[in-house]
Amino acid sequence: MQTERIHKLSYVNADLPGFLHHLEHSYINRRVGAYIATVNPEIGYAAAKDSSYCNVLSSADFILPDGIGVVMMSKLTNSRLKSRIAGYDVFINLLKIANDKKKRVFLYGAKKEVNQAVVDRISSEYPNISVVGYSDGYAKDKEAVAKRIAKAKPDMVFVALGYPHQERFIYEYKHLFPQAIAIGLGGSFDVFSGTVKRAPGWLIRLNLEWLYRLVTNPSRWKRMINIPKYAFTVLKEERVQKQSYYPEQVKEPQNKSMHS
Ligand code: UDP
């Protein structure tokens, strides 16, 4: 799978069907596990500020550009990501694959009633999926949840705790469920359960999903301040890299006088 690097993280450079095709044929069909991180500008900024979180993300098998801001930054830094790949779309498609192939899934995250609503919807709309376990995202003992996942032996683990908790959880415990596709999904359970509405399709196509989330949940503005901060950090780093490279190219030959 081709990747493009933006500020220390290597993002999958594919569209949604291309990525799913690769995941299905090279991982799911062969029962090979994978850790998938879905990274938006806010998460990219958090990684830029915290090297331990950056390491947690870097260890993912796939980092998906889950935000138009990441794709835009790639254009500004000449890394040319083809497309945004939204975590929610991957979730819905993985459910289809899981249903077709009679897979086992574990659902971890969100409030108790939201988590239960996700379990109920999957049980009624995807009858071939076995939900082998679930837990809300507010249990204190994360290790106990990880052990339950290990025991349940799922093919897919959906972790919707929000960042950085979901990535840290997968990073810390994925050795307990090495056969599973484990993906961090942010607020996807809220949307899937109908608790929160996703932006209408036409707004998503206009790349304005972020604006819809801001207008419908104005308290997010504090978090969204991190989007321009992310842009600034990436561009600054890019400039520093170019500057430190440039002098090497124009270095004067030493001992000029020897040749004159
Ligand atoms: N959440 C959780 N446990 C926590 C904190 C948050 O399960 O300790 C859930 C929360 O209920 C919500 C999701 O994580 O369902 C985070 O949603 P948010 O919209 O913040 O995620 P984003 O998509 O913006 O990353």
pLDDT digits (tens, 9 = 90+) for 72-96: 999 888 778 999 999 999 999 999 9
Residue 105 lies in a domain: yes
Hey, what's the torsion of the CAs at 141, 142, 148, 150, to 10 degrees?
Answer: -150
Residue 252 lies in a domain: no
**Ligand 1 center to residue 239 CA distance, Å?**
34
pLDDT band at 221 (very low <50, low <70, confident <90, very high): confident
What average pLDDT score do residues 131-160 get?
97
Which residue has its alpha carbon closest to ligand 1 atom 8? 138
Segments forming the whole domain that contains residue 198: 3-233
Mutational pocket test of ligand 1: of 91, 111, 158, 190, the residue with most ligand atoms within 8 Å of the beta carbon: 190
The residues, ordered by sequence, that sit 6+ positions from 56 with a Cβ below 8 Å of its Cβ are 164, 167, 168, 171
Residue 256 lies in a domain: no
**Ligand 1 center to residue 136 CA distance, Å?**
11
Residue 54 lies in a domain: yes
Q: What integer pLDDT is reported at residue 260 of this predicted model?
A: 42
What average pLDDT score do residues 41-49 get?
94
pLDDT band at 180 (very low <50, low <70, confident <90, very high): very high
Residue 248 lies in a domain: no
**What confidence tens digit (pLDDT) does each residue in 60-72 have?**
999 999 989 999 9
pLDDT band at 213 (very low <50, low <70, confident <90, very high): confident
pLDDT of 253 over the 60 cut: no
**Ligand 1 center to residue 198 CA distance, Å?**
15
Please name which of 219, 195, 222 lies closest in space to residue 111, comparing C-alpha atoms: 195
| CA–CA gap between residue 46 and residue 68 (Å, rounded) | 17
Work out the percent of the chain whose per-residue pLDDT is above 70.
92
* Domain count within the chain: 1
Residue where the block lists tokens 């835009």: 72
What average pLDDT score do residues 123-137 get?
98
Residue 91 lies in a domain: yes
| CA–CA gap between residue 14 and residue 93 (Å, rounded) | 15
Q: HSE on the CB side for 174, CA within 13 Å?
A: 25
**Ligand 1 center to residue 74 CA distance, Å?**
26
pLDDT of 239 over the 80 cut: no
Residue 260 lies in a domain: no
Q: What integer pLDDT is reported at residue 244 of this predicted model?
A: 61
**Ligand 1 center to residue 32 CA distance, Å?**
27
What average pLDDT score do residues 199-204 get?
91
pLDDT of 6 over the 80 cut: yes
CB-based pocket (< 6 A), ligand 1: 109-111, 137-138, 160-163, 165, 186-187, 189-190
Residue 213 lies in a domain: yes
What average pLDDT score do residues 19-28 get?
98
Mean pLDDT of the chain: 91
